[in-house]
């Protein structure tokens, strides 16, 4: 599926809004990674991610006729996925706490391998791993801005927060990433130098 012209994209959106199943299958295929990324960044486990992604696409299917094009389709879909994930987390908070406690009992006190053991990986992979260690809302803002190339206004709309709050999350996220990454990247450079 290559890059579409404006007219082809407009025709595709018209097919989506009319309920064309093939167009919707293409829509899912085009945006499934985006939705899965949003769900994973919200802290959902793999099985939960699949459930929330399904709910996201179902909600999008029902709302497509109302999609007016004010925001990019990916931004609109990310905001649906974000809300679905937040709702899922709210509804299942107690269940998740119990599951986490059980998992900790089974695993014991083993800690994850430090990022410094990832010296053979490319620096970009290290950076995105470090993003996983940020507080959830900071990580979502960083991913939306730097990976999904969303503007601060789009992020504010997706997360339903003020633009100044987005700026704060981005600033704090960058500062924390500098703290996390400075020793890791220094070790990476020393290992290759």
pLDDT (tens digit per residue) in 67-99: 887 888 888 999 999 999 988 888 877 555 555
Q: Which residues contact 134 (CB under 8 A, 6 or more apart)?
A: 142, 173, 176, 177
Q: Are residues 94 and 127 in the same domain?
A: no
**What is the total count of domains within the chain?**
2
Distance CA 18, CA 186 (A): 54
pLDDT (tens digit per residue) in 18-32: 888 898 999 999 999
Q: Are residues 35 and 45 in the same domain?
A: yes
Q: Are residues 5 and 41 in the same domain?
A: yes
pLDDT (tens digit per residue) in 49-66: 999 999 999 999 988 888
CATH code, domain with 160: 1.10.10.10
Q: Is the pLDDT of residue 142 over 60?
A: yes
pLDDT for the residue numbered 148: 82
Q: Are residues 19 and 78 in the same domain?
A: yes
Q: Is the pLDDT of residue 144 over 80?
A: yes
* Residue finishing a domain among 88, 109, 130: 109
* Residue finishing a domain among 109, 137, 170: 109
Q: Are residues 115 and 167 in the same domain?
A: yes
Q: Is the pLDDT of residue 145 over 80?
A: yes
pLDDT for the residue numbered 5: 67
* Residue finishing a domain among 62, 77, 109: 109
Helix (H, G, I), strand (E, B) or coil at 110: coil
Higher pLDDT, 188 or 37: 37
Q: Is the pLDDT of residue 1 over 60?
A: no
Q: Are residues 89 and 120 in the same domain?
A: no
Q: Are residues 21 and 101 in the same domain?
A: yes
Q: Are residues 70 and 151 in the same domain?
A: no
Q: Are residues 94 and 126 in the same domain?
A: no
| % of the chain residues with pLDDT over 90 | 26
CA nearest neighbour of 35 among 67, 82, 73, 2: 82
CATH code, domain with 100: 1.10.1740.10
CA nearest neighbour of 163 among 177, 153, 172: 153
Q: Is the pLDDT of residue 162 over 90?
A: yes
Range of the domain at 55: 1-109
pLDDT for the residue numbered 82: 92
Q: Are residues 140 and 77 in the same domain?
A: no
pLDDT for the residue numbered 46: 86
Average pLDDT value over all residues in the chain = 78
Mean pLDDT of 93-122: 46
Q: What is the CA radius of gyration of the chain?
A: 19
Own/partner contacts of 2-11, CB < 8 Å, gap of 24 or more, are none
Q: Are residues 25 and 80 in the same domain?
A: yes
Q: Are residues 27 and 98 in the same domain?
A: yes
């Amino acid at each position: 599926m290559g890059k579409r012209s404006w007219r082809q994209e407009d025709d595709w959106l018209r097919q989506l809004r009319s309920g064309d199943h093939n167009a919707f299958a293409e829509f899912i295929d085009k945006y499934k990674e985006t939705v899965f990324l949003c769900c994973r960044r919200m802290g959902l486990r793999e099985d939960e991610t699949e459930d929330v992604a399904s709910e996201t696409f179902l909600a999008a299917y029902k709302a497509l006729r109302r999609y007016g094009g004010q925001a990019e389709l990916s931004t609109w879909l990310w905001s649906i996925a974000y809300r679905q994930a937040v709702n899922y987390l709210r509804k299942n908070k107690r269940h998740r706490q119990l599951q986490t406690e059980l998992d900790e009992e089974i695993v014991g006190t083993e800690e994850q391998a430090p990022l410094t053991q990832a010296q053979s990986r490319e620096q970009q992979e290290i950076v995105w791993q470090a993003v996983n260690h940020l507080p959830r809302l900071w990580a979502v803002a960083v991913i939306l801005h730097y990976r999904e190339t969303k503007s601060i206004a789009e992020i504010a709309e997706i997360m339903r927060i003020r633009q100044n709050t987005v700026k704060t999350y981005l600033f704090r996220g960058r500062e924390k990433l500098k703290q996390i990454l400075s020793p890791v990247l220094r070790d990476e450079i020393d290992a290759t130098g």
